[in-house]
Amino acid sequence: MNARGLFCWLFLSLFVAPGLCGCHPVIDPAKAIATNADGKLIAPPASPLVGTTTRQQVEQLYHGYRVDCGVPALYWARVYRSDSKFPLVRNGDGRLWGWFNVVTAFDSNGVTQSVNAFSDEKLIDEVASMFSQGQLPALDFAVPAKLEAERDPIFASSLRADELQVKVVIAGTNLTISETIPGKRIPQKQAHLATVVVPRTHIRRILIDSQQLDWRPSDRTLLVFMRFERKTELGSYLDFKMQFSDALTLARWVAQTSSGHLKDNQPPARSNSASAPHPSFKAAAPAQ
């Protein structure tokens, strides 16, 4: 199911259908299921206990689930699991699947000191909390960070999903976002679609999530939704998919800019042309 289908389904299921037929997603933790490293369905691993579970035990519980968050002191595990089900779905099992994060910090003796468990839709908020508590150190965005992504063509154009790529470069308090078509299927002059530079202060909202209907264990990407204050060459909003490591970098950038750790070091460009983009967004050179 694509991004638009998922959003429409969630809207109908959560807001329209309940009033018409009493259909609500059924939350049943006792019947929660997850996948192991081999993609087989299992019961979700138990949560570490503060003051009791050691790091060695955490590594045993979440063997095969760990991801590199760039902070060795944290044990960050990601489990693909389902806790809810829509009872009136005809195609598929009706379960709502998503990635679930379990972040464990330890004391000097290697015993669990804190556990943060949250879904990907809480990633930005939880990263901001960990940053404010000093669990996630600041990243140096003076050195540009390059993120790879894929655009959903429903919100972009009539091209196929595998024909659109989005490149996101973080530099200071700005995002440079480029939409391109890879390969040699079309003339080189058309391969570059658009590039905009967006200051953090002109991004109205950023959402990250990975929930989807039915089981798709091979899809390890997260959906990112970004809305701007004004319309750009790429539209007034973007949605794209990216790997967790890049989504985490984006979430850490949001946390640092929201906290004021990064200061605006480059004023937005301005133009007197009536047909030019809004001055909040700078024109950028085509991607090479």
DSSP string, 45-103: PPPPPTTT-BHHHHHHHTTTTB---S-TTEEEEEEEEEEEE-TT--SS--EEEEEEEEE
What's the pLDDT score for residue 38? 78
Query: Residue 219 has what pLDDT?
Result: 64
In a domain, residue 132? The reply is no
Residues 54 and 114 reside in one and the same domain: yes
Q: Residue 271 domain-assigned?
A: no
Mean pLDDT for the chain overall: 76
* pLDDT recorded at residue 208: 92
Same-domain pairing of 28 and 90: yes
> Do 87 and 166 share a domain, yes or no?
no
pLDDT at 12 over 90: no
Contact 230, 218 (CB under 8 A): no
- Mean pLDDT, residues 148-162: 59
154 and 229 both lie in a single domain: yes
Which residue type is seen at 133?
A: Q
Can you tell me the distance from the alpha carbon of 108 to that of 118, in angstroms, rounded to the nearest whole number?
Answer: 25
The answer as to whether 126 is a domain residue is no
Please state the φ and ψ torsions of residue 182, each to the nearest 5 degrees.
Answer: -75, 165
Give the rounded percent of residues in the chain with a pLDDT score beyond 70: 66
The answer to whether residues 85 and 44 belong to one domain is yes
* Among 35-49, 73-87, 129-143, 199-213, the range of highest mean pLDDT: 129-143
Residue 125 forms part of a structural domain: no
Q: Let me know the angle formed at the C-alpha of 156 by 184 and 242, rounded to the nearest 5 degrees.
A: 80
Least confident window among 20-34, 133-147, 271-285: 271-285
Please check the confidence at residue 20 and state whether its pLDDT lies above 80. no
Whether 274 is covered by a domain: the verdict is no
> Can you give the pLDDT at residue 23?
52
For the cut 70, the answer to whether the pLDDT of residue 244 exceeds it is yes
Domain end among 103, 119, 135: 119
Q: Is it the case that residue 187 has pLDDT exceeding 70?
A: no
Same domain (yes/no): 179, 248 = yes
Structural domain boundaries, residue 223? 145-262+279-283
Task: Write out pLDDT tens, residues 47-72.
Answer: 999 999 999 999 999 998 999 999 99
- Does residue 25 have a pLDDT over 70? no
Residue 235 lies in a domain: yes
Give phi and psi for 213, each to the nearest 5: -80, 140
Contact partners, residue 197, CB within 8 Å, separation at least 6: 174, 175, 176, 177, 281, 282, 283, 284
Picking from 84, 119, 154, the residue at the C-terminal end of a domain is: 119
Residue 9: per-residue pLDDT? 52
Tally of domains in the chain: 2
90 shares a domain with 192: no
pLDDT confidence tier of residue 159, bands split at 50, 70 and 90? very low
Q: Are residues 113 and 149 in the same domain?
A: no
pLDDT given at position 17: 46
pTM to 2 decimals? 0.76
pLDDT band at residue 185 using 50, 70 and 90 as cut-offs: low
**CATH code at 251?**
2.30.29.30
Residue 38 falls within a domain, yes or no? yes
In terms of domains, do 94 and 151 share one?
no
Q: Which residue, of 119, 153, 184, is where some domain finishes?
A: 119
Q: Is the pLDDT of residue 186 over 90?
A: no
In a domain, 75, yes or no: yes
- Roughly what angle, to the nearest 10 degrees, separates helices 123-132 and 244-258? 60
- Regarding whether 7 and 41 lie in a shared domain, the answer is yes
